[in-house]
């Protein structure tokens, strides 16, 4: 093992290797005969797709979770979700602390790459806080859900507790796996279930650095970092805009919001706006939504949630930074200033690179999937963005995709979870530093 770590000198390479190993282990476990309800092996492709979807906290499925998998299979999925949400390197660092009581420099670098910690000296505390905070949030959500399932739906305490824990883990880690064939559509008008899961999704998707800063100085907004301000502002705007757009669009749709009461429509619209943060739950039938609602959902899934959290997508911080870059360019300013801070050029390049790489990957994947399947462009684009953004929402075509298409979605989920830049740097043999500068020449843009 040390020899392997010596070869993987870049922390991103270890992160990719760790996630890949978790997917392989999950595939092997889910391929076991007793992982399915029928007692027959699910097959390597179904096991691989489900394991990748769980580790990458996506939620896309090719089989019905509750009817296809046994209790053992469901537990494996829940564990893979937890591992993927916290991060392989975060768990590895935690185990190192518990066993040895110390962290070496290399382990700190690996944990920093996964948790996005800004100071290596704080990695041990960050890992501890991430795990404790995650378990606390999941426990709170599990308690509320367990009580609701037991008192409101007649489930036995044991079954209600099992459902509560599974869906709390799935929600906080933005996975979207559910143990009902219709996902959460039966709870569309239940605020206890919908708001609890939505709250877990939002908190898990904000990003741990933002959450920890809010816990430390929630009374002093003037001391919030640029990351926290951008994340909270863009998140609030997207949730509000998404709720209004989806509720207004689907208000009279007889297959979605039409039959519901006014308050239930608003609740369902809000829930539908929260889930594209990469959670994957749905209280409405996505396949019955209008194409205009799919477009809104596409945009929300592409943006995703906060950095260093359990959400996917290009991240709300990336979207916010690009908005400020465009605004500065439109005003003719040579520097990008946000509040009383100047945005480094390196952050601007990273944001542009991430978005361009993501859009290119989505375009190529959409074309490929269109060639491989008979489905329309809007449905295929929805599926591709959902996989890349690790959202887990679907218009119902996931199971109908060809084996080659399933492999493509697996690659998209893996890439979307780790990020194009992380994956690219992990594959690079070494970092290259240019030791000279070339003469500058202006180029016409546009």
DSSP code of residue 399: G
Q: What is the pLDDT of residue 108?
A: 59
Beta carbons within 10 angstroms of residue 367's beta carbon:
13
Integer angstrom CA distances of residue 210 from 12, 113, 387: 22, 17, 25
Question: Considering the entire predicted model, what is its pTM?
Answer: 0.88
Beta carbons within 10 angstroms of residue 18's beta carbon:
22
Q: What is the pLDDT of residue 8?
A: 46
Contacts of 219 (CB under 8 A, 6+ apart): none
Q: What is the pLDDT of residue 17?
A: 81
For the chain, how many structural domains are there in total?
1
pLDDT tens track, the chain, 446 positions: 444 444 445 566 677 788 899 999 999 999 999 999 999 999 999 999 999 999 999 999 999 999 999 999 999 999 999 999 887 657 555 555 554 455 565 565 566 555 555 455 556 777 778 888 899 999 999 999 999 999 999 999 999 999 999 999 999 999 999 999 999 999 999 999 999 999 999 998 888 778 888 888 878 887 888 888 899 999 999 999 999 999 999 999 999 999 999 999 999 999 999 999 888 899 999 999 999 999 999 999 999 988 777 788 888 988 999 999 888 888 888 788 887 788 888 778 878 888 888 999 999 999 999 999 999 999 999 999 999 999 999 999 999 999 999 999 999 999 988 876 565 555 454 456 667 787 877 777 77
434 inside domain: no
d(CA 240, CA 299): 14
Q: What is the pLDDT of residue 4?
A: 45
Phi, psi dihedrals of residue 69, rounded to the nearest 5° = -95, 150
Q: What is the pLDDT of residue 87?
A: 78
183 inside domain: yes
437 inside domain: no
Is the separation of the CB atoms in 54 and 61 below 8 Å? no
Is the separation of the CB atoms in 309 and 204 below 8 Å? yes
Is the separation of the CB atoms in 310 and 321 below 8 Å? no
Q: What is the pLDDT of residue 10?
A: 56
d(CA 235, CA 122): 27
3 inside domain: no
Find the domain containing 190 and state its range: 12-426
446 inside domain: no
Place of tokens 């740097």: 425
Q: What is the pLDDT of residue 280?
A: 87
Is the separation of the CB atoms in 214 and 228 below 8 Å? yes
1 inside domain: no
Structure tokens at 35: 């992982």
> Which letter, b or e, does each residue of 32-66 get, where b requires 16 or more Cβ atoms within 10 Å of its Cβ?
eeebbbeeeebeeebbbbbbbbbbbbbbbbbbebe
444 inside domain: no
């Amino acid at each position: 093992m040390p020899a392997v770590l010596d070869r993987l000198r870049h922390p991103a390479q270890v992160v990719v290797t760790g996630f890949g190993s978790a997917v392989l282990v999950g595939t092997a476990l889910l391929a076991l005969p007793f992982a399915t309800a029928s007692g027959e092996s699910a097959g390597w492709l179904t096991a691989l797709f489900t394991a990748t979807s769980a580790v990458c906290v996506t939620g896309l499925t090719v089989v019905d979770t509750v009817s296809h998998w046994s209790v053992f299979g469901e537990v494996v999925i829940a564990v893979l979700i937890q591992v993927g949400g916290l991060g392989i390197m975060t768990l590895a660092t935690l185990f190192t602390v518990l066993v040895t009581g110390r962290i070496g420099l290399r382990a700190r670098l690996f944990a920093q790459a996964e948790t996005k910690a800004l100071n290596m000296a704080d990695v041990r505390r960050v890992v501890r806080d991430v795990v404790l905070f995650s378990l606390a949030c999941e426990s709170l959500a599990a308690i509320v859900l367990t009580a609701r399932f037991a008192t409101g739906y007649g489930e036995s305490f044991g079954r209600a507790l099992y459902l509560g824990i599974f869906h709390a883990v799935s929600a906080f880690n933005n996975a979207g796996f559910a143990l009902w064939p219709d996902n959460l559509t039966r709870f569309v008008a239940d605020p206890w279930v919908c708001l609890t899961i939505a709250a877990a999704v939002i908190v898990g998707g904000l990003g741990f650095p933002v959450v920890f800063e809010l816990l430390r100085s929630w009374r002093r907004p003037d001391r919030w970092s640029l990351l926290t301000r951008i994340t909270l502002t863009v998140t609030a705007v997207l949730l509000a805009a998404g709720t209004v757009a989806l509720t207004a669009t689907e208000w009279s749709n007889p297959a979605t919001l039409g039959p519901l009461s006014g308050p239930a429509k608003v609740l369902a619209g809000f829930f539908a706006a929260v889930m594209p943060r990469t959670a994957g739950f749905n209280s409405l039938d996505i396949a019955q939504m209008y194409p205009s609602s799919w477009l809104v959902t596409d945009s929300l899934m592409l943006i995703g949630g906060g950095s260093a959290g359990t959400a996917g997508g290009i991240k709300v911080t990336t979207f916010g930074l690009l908005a400020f870059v465009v605004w500065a360019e439109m005003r003719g300013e040579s520097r990008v200033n946000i509040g009383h801070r100047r945005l480094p050029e390196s952050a601007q390049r990273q944001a542009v690179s991430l978005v361009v790489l993501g859009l290119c990957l989505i375009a190529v994947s959409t074309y490929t999937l269109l060639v491989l399947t008979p489905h329309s462009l809007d449905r295929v684009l929805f599926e591709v963005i959902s996989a890349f953004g690790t959202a887990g929402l679907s218009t119902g075509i996931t199971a109908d995709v060809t084996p080659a298409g399933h492999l493509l979605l697996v690659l998209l989920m893996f890439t979307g979870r780790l990020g194009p830049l992380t994956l690219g740097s992990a594959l690079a043999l070494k970092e290259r530093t240019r030791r000279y500068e070339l003469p500058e020449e202006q180029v016409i843009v546009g």
